[in-house]
Amino acid sequence: MKIKSCKEEYLAKAKLLSKKEAERLMSRMSEKLYRRLKKDNLSSEEILGIQLEVEEDQLQEWREKMSKIREKEEAKLKEKEKQKQKG
């Protein structure tokens, strides 16, 4: 994984984090990623920005998966309702 910097919008968000929020964000970061980023001599703000970006991507993926699951559930419910009406 080659991460050199984060998008400006995430860097700006990282700069606005309180110390407590920054600590919580860092605690969610995998240690392997943190060491890799520190090795690349990135600032703490850049590291936080990258973590914000990673979490945003993961959240988007989760939302897409949940949307598909809900669609399947709705289709199953509609099918059951049709079967009840026929039977």
- Distance in Å from the first CA to the final CA of the chain: 56
- Kindly indicate the confidence band of residue 66, based on its pLDDT and cuts at 50, 70 and 90: very high
DSSP 83: H
Query: What's the pLDDT score for residue 38?
Result: 83
Cα 73 to chain center, whole Å? 24
Supply the pTM of this predicted model: 0.76
Residues 10 and 53: their CA atoms lie apart, in Å, by: 6
Mind listing the pLDDT tens digit for each residue in 16-28?
Answer: 999 999 999 999 9
Q: Calculate mean pLDDT across residues 70-82.
A: 93
